[in-house]
Amino acid sequence: MSRRSGQPRSGCAINAAVEALGDHWSFLVLRDIIFGDRRYFRELLNGSIEGIASNILSDRLKRLVDAGILTKEQVARGQKARYSLTEAGIQTLPILFALGNWGLDWREGTPELRVRQELMRREGPEFIEELMDELRLRHLGAPSPERTGPGPLERLEAAYAQATGG
């Protein structure tokens, strides 16, 4: 939350969500954790295609932890702390999906960076649910879902690799 007291400025649910999620950097950090499986500060810093500054990244990670969207592993001094999504963090996926769909419809972009969103749109809500289950496995230690074939993150990575020739 943006206010020191932890209380939103009003009782409006949209306001409360916006205050908890923060600005565009927070959404991009969540994007990189969810879709890039970047769980460490350096991975998030070096993997940011938008070029997030280290002080901004540090602040957004702290805010997301304080808001209960991420957890930060407790480690000894000098060790790398790993960030994980909470259930509240996993529940941001439909928000990111909706934002991405809006971006596909109303903003320009490069084909290789749009391909994952296009795949998710094509696959629909079932894909989003399957991806949320995979995130629960990776971040919360939930049981592995039954599936045949590649999981949703593998399919997203394969689509990106094909689009970039990688």
Q: What is the pLDDT of residues 12-27, one digit of tens each?
A: 999 899 999 989 999 9
Question: Is residue 4 scored above 60 in pLDDT?
Answer: no
Mean pLDDT, rounded, of the chain: 92
Same-domain pairing of 103 and 158: yes
Region 122-129: what's the mean pLDDT?
A: 97
Residues 18, 64 within the same domain = yes
**Domain match, 122 and 145 both:** yes
- Indicate if the pLDDT at residue 149 is higher than 80: yes
Last residue of a domain, one of 67, 85, 103: 85
- Amino acid present at 123: E
Residue 26 belongs to some domain of the structure = yes
Kindly tell me if the per-residue pLDDT of 2 is higher than 60.
no
145 and 120, same structural domain?
yes
Residue for token pair 């991405």: 100
- Tell me what pLDDT residue 6 has: 62
What pLDDT sits at residue 5?
A: 44
One domain for residues 101 and 56: no
Position 150 in a domain: yes
Question: Strands, E, within 31-93: which ranges?
Answer: 70-72, 83-85
37, 101: one domain: no
CATH code (residue 28): 1.10.10.10
Closest C-alpha among 100, 124, 126, 78 to residue 34: 100
Both 41 and 66 in a single domain?
Answer: yes
Quick check: is 123 in a domain? yes
**Same domain? 122 vs 142:** yes
- Tell me what percent of the residues of the chain surpass a pLDDT of 70: 96
Q: Which residue has the higher pLDDT, 62 or 146?
A: 62
- Provide the sign of the torsion angle of the four alpha carbons 124, 125, 128, 133, taken in this order: negative
For the chain, the domain total comes to 2
pLDDT of residue 10: 82
Of 42, 47, 40, give the one whose Cα is nearest residue 75. 40
> Are residues 46 and 71 both part of a single domain?
yes
For the cut 90, the answer to whether the pLDDT of residue 148 exceeds it is no
Across the range 150-160, mean pLDDT stands at 95
52 and 108 within one domain = no
**Are 106 and 78 found together in one domain?**
no
- Spatial separation of the C-alpha atoms in residues 145 and 154, rounded to whole Å: 14
Q: Tell me what percent of the residues of the chain surpass a pLDDT of 90.
A: 82
pLDDT tens digits for 82-99?
A: 999 999 999 999 999 999
Question: Could you list the residue range(s) of the whole structural domain that residue 152 is in?
Answer: 92-164
Residue 3 has pLDDT above 60, yes or no: no
Q: What is the pLDDT of residue 146?
A: 83
Question: Looking at residues 4-19, what average pLDDT do you find?
Answer: 79
- Write out the DSSP string of 87-156: HHHHTTHHHHHHHHHHHHHHS---HHHHHHHHHHHHH-HHHHHHHHHHHIIIII-PPPPP-SS--HHHHH
**Whether the Cβ atoms of residue 38 and residue 80 lie closer than 8 Å to each other:** no
